[in-house]
Amino acid sequence: MTRSLKGEIFRNMARCFWIITFISLICTKGSEGQASGLQRFPDGFLLGAASASYQVEGAWNVSGKGVSTWDHFAHTMPERIADGSNGDIACDSYNKYKEDVQWIKSIGLDHYRFSLSWTRILPNGFNTPVNQDGIRYYKSLLEELKAANITTVVSLYHWDHPQILEEMGGWTNELMVRWFVDYAKVVFDNIGHLIDIVITINEPKLLCQQAYNSTWKAPGKVFNDMGHFFCVHNILKAHAKTWHMYDQEYRATQNGMIGFTTPVRGWVQGEGVTEETIERAFQFDCGWIMSPIYTGDYPEVMKTRIAERSALQNYPFSRLPEFTDEWKKIIKGATDFFGLNHYTSSMPTFDPAEALGTFASDTNIIGIADPSWPSGASGWLHIVPEGIGNVLRKIKDTYGNPPVYMFENGVSDKGEIEDYVRINYYHDYISEILTAIVRDGCDVKAYTAWTLLDNYEWEAGYTERFGILKVDFDSPNRTRSEKLSTHWWREVLRTRTLIDAREFTSHLRQRRREGSTFEN
C-alpha cells in the first residue's frame, strides 16, 4: 500500500470519526435545543471566509503588475514591520488559487471574499493600459469559484493602491475619486458578471487613520491631524460614485449587490460607561462612515466637537471637511447592505484629562479593557463576545435595521494547529450573532471568518496568524494544512449548526488521552 493511499485512508477514518461524534452530539441534545447551546443558522444564511490581495497573492512583480503602496512601504521601510518581512510571496495564492478553491470547497464554505490588486489590473494606476494578465488571473479565480458553486465576494480595494497615485497625494487628493471610479469600471467591464457581491472599499476609517494620521500602515503619513478626515471624505465620494455607476450601468445585467464594509468596535458596561459615552464612541467609530450613507451627513457630535477642537488648535476652519448639498444627495443611500467587520470591544468612558482642560482627542473618549479579558496574539484584540450583540442591536436601532453582512471576524494566535482559542472565539461570537437575529430581530445575512489562510498581517508581518488553514511560510511551496478549527468549521457547515466548542474540544482531549489526535 502506498504512503499516499495510507494517508487517505487515515484521513477518511478521521473524518468518519468526527461525523459520528457530531451526529452523536446533536442527537443526544434532542429537544433541548438552544437552551443547551445548539443554535441553527437561518435558511439562506451565508458562511464564508476572507482574504486580501497583498496578504495572500505574492507574485508582487510578475506578469505586468505595477508597484503598490504596500510593495513600496514594506520594501523601503521594513523597520515598520514587526519581523521586517513583506508580501512578495505571502501565501503564493497567485499560483495556488486552484488549491485554495479546493480547500474552500472541501470545508464547505458558502462564499469566499477576496480583494483585487489595483496594480495587477492597472499597473500605472490609470485606466489605460489594462494588464490582461491580471484580468485573466482574476477571471480564472472567479470561474474556479463559480464552478465549485461558491458565492463570490470581491473587494475592489483592500488598502493597496498604486504607488504612483500615492505620490500624487493618494486618498488625500480628490482626483483619487475619479481614478477609483475609472478602475472600478474596468473591473465591471471585464469580470463584473462573475461577481455576486461587490465591496468597493474595505474599512475606510481604519485605513485613513493608520495610513494618513500614523505611520502604522502604508503609506505611513501624518498630515497635521487632518489627513484621515480628507481621506475618508474622498473615499465616501469614490464609493458613492461607484455605487451609482454600478446601479445605472451594470446592475440589470450583472445582478450583483454593492456596498462597502466598515469596522465597528463593540462595547460592554463597566465603571464610567454611560449611554452618552456609548453613543459618542459609536458615532465617531461607525457613524463617521455610515451616517453619510444613511442620513446624508457626518454625525452632529463629530461636526461640533471637531470644529471646537480645531478652533482651540488655531485652525481657521474645521479639520472635518463639509459635504456640499449635491454630494450629500449622491452619498445618501448609496449601498445595498451594511458591511460590518468586528473583532473586539472595550468600555468607553470620558477622558478624565478633559475635565482638567486638556483636550487630548476629538472624541474625548477612551476605551478601557478589563485586565481579566482574554486576548489573541494581537495586543489590541480582546475577546469580548457580548460586544458584537451590542453592535448589531445598535445598528438596527440607529439605521432602521439594514441587511448586515459581516465580512470579517476572527482572532489571532501564533500559529497553533490545535487552535482552541480560535474555535471558542468563533463559537461565542457567532452565538451572540444568532441571538441577535433570533431574539432581537437583527437582519444579519452573512458571516465571514477572517481569515481563510494564515497570511501577511500588515505591520505585524507573519508574527500573528488568523487562518483556519495553516500556511508553512518556511516552505517554498507555502504548504497548506488543516487546524483544529478547520475540522470545527467543516462540521458547522455540514450540519448548519453552531457546534459547541467546549464539547468539541472535550472530545478531542479524550482522543488525545487515548493516544490519538484529530489527524488520526
Distance CA 190, CA 172 (A): 28
Check if the beta carbon of residue 260 is closer than 8 Å to that of residue 201: yes
Distance, first Cα to last Cα, the chain: 18
Q: Which residues pair with 197 in a beta bridge?
A: 153, 257
How is residue 245 written as a grid cell? Answer: 455607476
How is residue 129 written as a grid cell? Answer: 493600459
- Of 120, 96, 81, whose CA–CA distance to 472 is shortest? 96
The DSSP-derived string for 97-135 is HHHHHHHHHHHT-SEEEEE--HHHH-TTSSSSS--HHHH
Distance CA 163, CA 119 (A): 9
Number of Cβ atoms within 10 Å of the Cβ of 492: 24
Catalytic: which of 57, 144, 166, 408? 408
279 is an active site residue:
no
- 90 Cβ contact partners less than 8 Å away, ≥ 6 residues apart: 54, 55, 56, 57, 58, 455, 456, 478
How is residue 391 written as a grid cell? Answer: 453592535
408 is an active site residue:
yes
Catalytic: which of 57, 144, 203, 491? 203
- Cα torsion angle, 301, 304, 310, 313, sign: negative
The pair phi, psi for residue 299, each rounded to 5°, is -60, 145
3-class state of residue 52 by DSSP: coil
Q: Which residues pair with 154 in a beta bridge?
A: 114, 198
How is residue 300 written as a grid cell? Answer: 452632529
CA dihedral 103, 106, 111, 117 (to 10 degrees): 10
How is residue 260 written as a grid cell? Answer: 462597502
Residues serving a catalytic function are: 203, 408
